[in-house]
Amino acid sequence: MKQVIVGMATCGLSAGAQKVYEKFEEVIREKNLPVTLKETGCIGMCYREVLVELQDGDGQNYLYGEVTPERVGEIVESHLLQNKPLLPWVVRGPHPTEDDSFFVKQKRIVLRNCGHIDPNSIDASIHAGGYHALRKALLEYSPEKVIDEVTGSQLRGRGGAGFPTGVKWGFARRSAGDKKYVICNADEGDPGAFMDRSVLEGDPHSVIEGMIICGYAIGAKEGYIYVRAEYPKAIQRLRQAIAQAEERGFLGENILQTDFRFRIKIKEGAGAFVCGEETALIASIEGRRGNPRLRPPFPAVSGLWGKPTNINNVETFANIPWIILNGAEAFASLGTDDSKGTKVFALTGKIKRGGLVEVPMGITINEIIYDICSGMREGKQFKAVQMGGPSGGCIPALMGQIQIDYAQITKTGAIMGSGGMVVMDESTCMVDVAKFFLNFTQNESCGKCVFCRLGTKRMLEILERITEGKGKGSDLDLLEDLAQKVRETSLCGLGQTAPNPVLTTLRYFRQEYETHIFDRKCPAHVCSPLLTYTILPNCCTGCGRCAKSCPAQAISGERKEPHFIQPEQCVKCGRCFASCSFGAVFKD
């Protein structure tokens, strides 16, 4: 049977997948074709969306990229009716393509099913191995054996802190309590991060299965998935997957004819970044304001409603079924001495291929950027990568050979985080980047700690002064002093790591700060108050487009004669630069 499978994750939908799906549906119906139309999640090639896979019935699969509704008719006519694949549009198939290198260095465990199965179908999940690990855990392993297996895999929590998962489960198992809880932290709030969303949209059953196994291991009978309300597609597929699991007997009473019972509820978060911190998340589930609290006691001892609670993120739980099925040694054979297994990264920024990848721990930054993502756009130079989101730091290009594992990344001043990587080129101002992330954390601070609430505000004010050309030489020492105080006196991880983008940019790009302060220039030509716009007479044709676009009427000149800018009137908005087609407007 021939099949057409459309990538219907958020990345695909934002590129127009819904219209592509509807067009295939219309053409297949009009031509009365014996073709099955299905959905799938994100395979990771977000830079090629909309993605459509054709299975021709002869065992050959062809993945078409950048499909539009206008291309659907030609694909159907040529490929489905005449068995002639349109090879120029194929990004992956039986024959080599330039996009094959995107997958060569990947190792997919968490993303093993994403983009390959229909996330709406529990049968598709089971066919791909879903719930086989649950059966093995419940029927062959004791709870202690499950924890031993997870511990032996040396899986570390993928939410950012990297705490050993098996050790964490052991704490919850040994904690006394008449009730225990399992929580999946799907409150993904880092700018540029979409790992959890993609897994929940593409393979929700793997996360649910991991949570059930955790519940069995620690003695919990109830679980919560805390997912932000901005993820409607993920929530829809989670609700559907939970209902299907209950119907098949994987959730509820007497799971797989045993005396074990477990249920899962969804809690939609309102989008507060601080609720990614586990104690703030717990408070939010309980109906209180999402403020962190002092630890100890840790959630493993006193968590949700004061009961022992285990919290892991989406990626951590999605690893569990694979580990149970394949064994701890198989997982531990991947990675480095410090960091085992694989890591999922969401890649955004100035790279040619943005998307979702899963790579073995120990791969270098340069391998990801150049081998997987095919380097930088427009032939520009790689400058830095931001890892760990607002809580992370900027790693310069000269450290591109560093291995990605917890210890090595921490040495740079950044953190592994949940897996967001924002890649920057020479056109990026590092002072502006630090200001962006600090503005984010300052806005997201719950305000409970004085240094987090006010310290980040004072730091942001200094960065704003520097980017406006009003900085002083003493500002850099003051920034570092405030950063250390905020780090040392904040209650939770948000405040403790908020200074990281500032500290790492100061550490690796101090000269850029000094140029802003002492020369009143932005080397990347980003900070508008520090820019000077001039018109090059030998390039100006006198077309007048720059003058028409200027909101301050600072540009004058006769038609077909070189124009000029009045510096005292120029508001430095950059519209003249953007509107000129002849490269006559110069900014410095």
Q: What is the CATH number of the domain that holds 438?
A: 1.20.1440.230
pLDDT band at 32 (very low <50, low <70, confident <90, very high): very high
Q: What local confidence, expressed as pLDDT, does residue 391 receive?
A: 85
- Two tokens at 533? 């716009």
CA 273 to chain centre: 14
Q: Which two tokens stand for residue 65?
A: 């990229």
Helix, strand or coil for residue 410?
Answer: helix
Look at residue 57 and tell me whether its pLDDT is greater than 80.
no
The answer to whether position 112 is within a domain reads: no
Domain co-membership, 129 together with 10: no
Assign 59 a pLDDT band (cuts: 50, 70, 90). confident
Is it true that the peptide bond before 85 is cis, omega within 30 degrees of 0?
Answer: no
The pLDDT value given to residue 34: 93
Q: Which residues pair with 64 in a beta bridge?
A: 52, 90
User: Alpha-carbon distance 214 to 192, whole Å?
Assistant: 29
Domain assignment present for 450: yes
- 550 and 468 together in one domain: no
Instruction: Tell me if 410 is assigned to some domain.
Output: yes
56 vs 371, higher pLDDT: 371
pLDDT digits (tens, 9 = 90+) for 1-27: 899 999 999 999 999 999 999 999 999
Rg from Cα positions in the chain: 26
Q: Are residues 373 and 503 in the same domain?
A: no
Mean pLDDT of the chain: 95
The confidence score (pLDDT) of residue 160 equals 78
Whether 192 shows a pLDDT value over 90: the answer reads no
CATH number at residue 68: 3.40.30.10
pLDDT at 238 over 80: yes
Q: Is the dihedral of CA 408, 108, 327, 225 positive or negative?
A: positive
| Residues 451 and 492 placed together within one structural domain of the fold | yes
Residue 481 lies in a domain: yes
Asked if 364 and 301 sit in the same domain, the reply is no
- Domain's final residue, options 266, 296, 331: 331
In a domain, 111, yes or no: no
* Dist. CA 198–CA 498, nearest whole Å: 26
Rounded to whole angstroms, how far apart are CA atoms 400 and 504? 15
In three-state secondary structure terms, 325 is: helix
Q: Is the residue at 434 inside a domain?
A: yes
| Domain final position from 370, 395, 425 | 425
Handedness of CA 485, 488, 490, 493 (dihedral sign): positive
pLDDT level of residue 190 (50, 70, 90 thresholds): confident
List C-alpha distances in Å: 277 to 185, 231, 413, 540, 552. Answer: 9, 19, 20, 55, 47
Cα separation of 495 and 493, whole Å?
Answer: 6
Q: Which pLDDT belongs to residue 1?
A: 81
d(CA 49, CA 52): 9
Sheet containing 61-64: give its strands across. 35-40, 2-7, 52-55, 61-64, 90-92
Residue 90 CA to residue 74 CA, distance in Å, equals 13
Question: What pLDDT score does 191 carry?
Answer: 85
> Can you tell me the distance from the alpha carbon of 308 to that of 173, in angstroms, rounded to the nearest whole number?
8
Residues 17 and 70 in one domain: yes
- The Cα–Cα gap between 390 and 503 comes to 12
| pLDDT value, residue 116 | 96
Asked whether residue 52 falls in the same domain as residue 7, the answer is: yes
Task: Give the chain's domain count.
Answer: 5
| DSSP state letters, 512-572 | HHHIIIII---TTS--GGG--EEE-TTT-----HHHHH-TT--EE--TTS--EE-TTT---
pLDDT at 545 over 90: yes
Instruction: Compute the distance between CA of residue 454 and CA of residue 459 in angstroms, rounded to an integer.
Output: 9
Q: Which amino acid type is present at position 405?
A: D
d(CA 533, CA 552): 13
Cα distance between residue 281 and residue 284, in whole Å: 5
- The residue with greater pLDDT, 494 or 395, is 395
Which of 294-303, 404-413, 444-453, 477-486 is the least confident region?
444-453
537 in the same domain as 497: no
- Which residue in this structure is represented by tokens 């080129």? 425
CATH of the domain at 224: 3.40.50.11540
pLDDT reported for residue 585: 92
Q: Roughly what angle, to the nearest 10 degrees, separates helices 204-218 and 132-140?
A: 10
- Give the mean model confidence (pLDDT) for residues 412-419: 89
The answer to which of 82-86, 206-210, 331-335, 508-512 has the lowest mean pLDDT is: 82-86
**Pair 166, 294 in one domain:** yes
| 287 domain-assigned | yes
- Mark which of 460, 484, 519 sits at the end of a domain: 519
Q: What is the CATH number of the domain that holds 568?
A: 3.30.70.20
> Rounded to an integer, what distance in angstroms lies between the CA atom of residue 490 and that of residue 506?
21
Does 164 have pLDDT greater than 90?
yes
Report the pLDDT averaged over residues 458-466.
Answer: 96
Query: In this structure, is residue 189 part of a structural domain?
Result: yes
Give CA separation, 552 vs 504, 542, 566, 574, 586, in Å: 38, 18, 10, 11, 18
What average pLDDT does this structure show over 473-490? Answer: 94
Q: Is the pLDDT of residue 334 over 80?
A: yes
| Strands 382-387, 420-425: pairing kind | antiparallel
Q: What integer is the mean pLDDT of 439-468?
A: 93
Q: How many CB atoms lie under 10 A from the CB of residue 90? A: 18
Residues 6+ apart with CB under 8 A from 368: 105, 345, 347, 357, 359, 404, 421
Q: Which two tokens stand for residue 137?
A: 């855990």
Q: Spell out the long-range contacts of 249-257 with Cβ–Cβ below 8 A and sequence spacing 24 or more.
A: 250/131, 250/134, 250/208, 250/209, 250/212, 251/208, 251/212, 255/134, 255/138, 255/212, 256/134, 256/135, 256/138, 256/139
Give the span between the Cα atoms of 354 and 422, in whole angstroms.
Answer: 10
**Contact yes or no for 562/464 (Cβ under 8 A):** no
Residue with tokens 């659907």: 72
Q: Are 347 and 193 in contact (CB under 8 A)?
A: no
- Whether residues 399 and 413 share a domain: the answer is yes
DSSP structure string for 125-174: HHHTTTTHHHHHHHHH--HHHHHHHHHHHT-B-TTTT--BHHHHHHHHHH
Claim to verify: residue 146 and residue 242 sit in the same structural domain: yes
CA dihedral sign, ordered 320, 321, 325, 331: negative
Reported as a pLDDT band with limits 50, 70 and 90, residue 456 is very high
The reply to whether 164 and 275 lie within a common domain is: yes
Beta-carbon contacts of 215 under 8 Å, excluding residues fewer than 6 positions away, are: 182, 221, 222, 223, 260, 262
- The token duo for 198 is 């993609």
pLDDT of residue 417: 84
Query: Quick one: DSSP state of residue 50?
Result: S
Give residue 493's pLDDT.
86
Average pLDDT over residues 433-454: 92
Whether 327 has a pLDDT exceeding 80, the answer reads yes
Domain that holds residue 390: 342-425
Q: How confident is the model at residue 189 (pLDDT cuts 50, 70, 90)?
A: confident
